[in-house]
Chains A and B, each alone.
Chain A
Amino acid sequence: MLLPAGTNPNAWRANSPVVHERCRVGAGQHETYTLAVSIPLLLTLVDAGVRLGSTTVLRNLSLELAQGEVLGIEGPNGAGKSTLLRVCATLLPLDTGSGTVFDAHLGSPGAQSVRPEIGLLAHQPALYEELTLRENLSFYGRLLGRRPGRVDELLDGVGLSAAADRRADQTSQGMQRRVDLARLLLIEPRLLLLDEPHAGLDSAAEKLIAAVVADVLGRRGAAIIVAHDTSRLADLTTRRLRLERGGLT
């Protein structure tokens, strides 16, 4: 929508990003209008705080993630990056503050219903050691109701067709990470949460991360990538923040 000149766009919008544009209106006349574009927010956190035992992990943390954004969050060891991701995934409740994911309030029963829209890549892969790579993906595929052929397509896509029948405990960390990324593609999420996605991946496989992110963005989603150093992700991220002492800067 167009706002008349002089309108404070920040007063108008509560949460949506605003794009300012200077438009030509009428022949020979120039007027300045503000073009306000409402971009849906997929995730919001307002003064969020999390304590684990007697330790405050996150405090007064506010965050917004709009559709189409790829947010990089970096920080030192123990800063709470993984905890933040788990809060965003609705796996960890907030002790203070509030938040929403896909408009569902964190901590409400509705928050659990949006979990299938979220893809979380944790430090350790969610694979069953005794099962083969194909069996692992097929298990998740069955739960998701995906067609059987999709599993082989994904294994091929992540470069593991030849190792598909190898047990997970007989594969390297990098291979397991690739399969875990394939699992995310199987889920087809709209919110992607990646915790140190580069860990264990060789340079050839790093482009997989870009592929997964692109897949989510193509579904009008967004992503948060957490890493010690997000400069490696400069091409991927649209915004970078630093998490330190429980808060974002």
Chain B
Amino acid sequence: MKTRYVLSLLALAALGYGLYLSGQHPPDAVQGEYVRIINVHVPASWVAFLAFGGTLLGSLGWLATRRRRFDAFAAASAEVGVLFTALSLLSGMIWGQVTWGIAWDWGDARMASTALMFFIYLGYMGLRRGMPDETERAKRSAVIGVLGFLTVPLSYFSVNLFRSLHQTQSVRPDGWQIESGEIVTSMLINVAAYTLVYLVFVTWRTSQGMVPADTGVGSDLAGDAVVAPSLGGRDE
């Protein structure tokens, strides 16, 4: 508990500092003030993929050991991952729209594979809903957690292949570099802050997921709910 409080305070402090730096660094020579979105988009994208990796590790851990903690961790990571993936996509679309005039660049393999990852997360969480049996839920989620992780890099390579063969279709200028060291520093601080936030959320949700569904004491006994019917035949 104490560790979680310390971690939460650290995350808050890091977020605050990252926000401060986001407003302080100079604008970019190419993108102007819009470059500040990088302090949200890049960290959110990093955490989105980190969370996906967490779900993979949790899924593999459960399949290998059948321990509840791994399933709880995989699910918690997926939940947090959905949030940050949505944030990554949203910030990416805003950035694209204000900077290059197009919200969605089909030539960008990263955006496409992030979107696919988002749908896989949604499927993962959809699968867990309405499955009261713990073991069954953990088992099926673990399979999709592993399968999903396989397809995301493959999608990235596929779309990248398209982009490399159709260069003119990409609206983002290739080889764009961040020239200011301050922007890079700010971005990295925000990456660290978002990572701490991920850790706080995941540890909290994992511990919630570890709470047993029922204590076992006083649980229903089969057959107790069934008694002799009160409706009988005709009166004699």
Binding site for B on A (CB under 8 A): 51-59, 75-80, 83, 244-246
A79/B219 contact (C-beta < 8 A), A53-B132, A53-B133, A54-B213 known: no
- CB-CB < 8 A to A79: which residues of B? 222-223
- What are 25 A-B contacts defined by CB distance under 8 Å? A52-B222, A53-B132, A53-B133, A54-B213, A54-B214, A55-B221, A55-B222, A56-B219, A56-B220, A56-B222, A57-B222, A58-B222, A59-B221, A76-B223, A77-B226, A78-B222, A78-B223, A78-B225, A79-B222, A80-B222, A83-B222, A244-B223, A245-B222, A245-B223, A246-B223
Q: Count the A-B residue pairs with Cβ separation under 8 angstroms: how many?
A: 42
Closest to B134 in A: A53
- Is the beta-carbon distance between B133 and A80 smaller than 8 angstroms? no
- Does B224 lie at the interface of the complex (its beta carbon under 8 Å from any beta carbon of A)? yes
- B154-209 residues at the A interface, CB under 8 angstroms: none
- Is the beta-carbon distance between A51 and B219 smaller than 8 angstroms? yes
Task: Please report the C-alpha to C-alpha distance between residue A52 and residue B222 in the assembled complex, in whole angstroms.
Answer: 9
Closest to B220 in A: A55
Closest to B215 in A: A54
- CB-CB < 8 A to A58: which residues of B? 222
Q: Which of A51, A83, A245 contacts B224 (CB 8 A)?
A: A245
Task: Please report the C-alpha to C-alpha distance between residue A77 and residue B224 in the assembled complex, in whole angstroms.
Answer: 10
- CB-CB < 8 A to B222: which residues of A? 52, 55-58, 78-80, 83, 245-246
Q: Which of A53, A77, A246 contacts B221 (CB 8 A)?
A: A246
Task: Please report the C-alpha to C-alpha distance between residue A246 and residue B225 in the assembled complex, in whole angstroms.
Answer: 12
- CB-CB < 8 A to A57: which residues of B? 222
- Is the beta-carbon distance between B220 and A54 smaller than 8 angstroms? yes
- CB-CB < 8 A to A77: which residues of B? 223, 226
Binding site for A on B (CB under 8 A): 132-133, 213-214, 219-226
Task: Please report the C-alpha to C-alpha distance between residue A75 and residue B219 in the assembled complex, in whole angstroms.
Answer: 21
- CB-CB < 8 A to A78: which residues of B? 222-223, 225-226
Least CB distance from B42 to A in Å reads 44
Q: Which residue of A55, A59, A79, A246 has the most chain B CB atoms within 10 A of its CB atom?
A: A55
Q: Which residue of B132, B220, B221, B222 has the most chain A CB atoms within 10 A of its CB atom?
A: B222
- CB-CB < 8 A to A80: which residues of B? 222-223
- CB-CB < 8 A to B219: which residues of A? 51, 54-56
Least CB distance from B220 to A in Å reads 4
Task: Please report the C-alpha to C-alpha distance between residue A61 and residue B184 in the assembled complex, in whole angstroms.
Answer: 66
- CB-CB < 8 A to A52: which residues of B? 133, 222
- With A79-B222, A244-B223 already in contact, 20 other A-B pairs whose C-beta atoms are closer than 8 Å: A51-B219, A53-B132, A53-B133, A54-B220, A55-B222, A56-B219, A56-B221, A57-B222, A59-B221, A76-B223, A76-B226, A77-B226, A78-B223, A80-B222, A80-B223, A83-B222, A245-B222, A245-B224, A246-B221, A246-B222
Task: Please report the C-alpha to C-alpha distance between residue A78 and residue B222 in the assembled complex, in whole angstroms.
Answer: 6
- CB-CB < 8 A to B214: which residues of A? 54
Closest to A77 in B: B226
- CB-CB < 8 A to B221: which residues of A? 55-56, 59, 245-246
Closest to B213 in A: A54
- CB-CB < 8 A to A56: which residues of B? 219-222
Task: Please report the C-alpha to C-alpha distance between residue A56 and residue B220 in the assembled complex, in whole angstroms.
Answer: 6
- CB-CB < 8 A to B220: which residues of A? 54-56
Q: Which residue of A53, A75, A83, A244 has the most chain B CB atoms within 10 A of its CB atom?
A: A53
Least CB distance from A81 to B in Å reads 10
Least CB distance from A152 to B in Å reads 40
Closest to A55 in B: B220
Task: Please report the C-alpha to C-alpha distance between residue A47 and residue B127 in the assembled complex, in whole angstroms.
Answer: 35
- CB-CB < 8 A to B132: which residues of A? 53
- CB-CB < 8 A to A246: which residues of B? 221-223
Task: Please report the C-alpha to C-alpha distance between residue A80 and residue B225 in the assembled complex, in whole angstroms.
Answer: 12
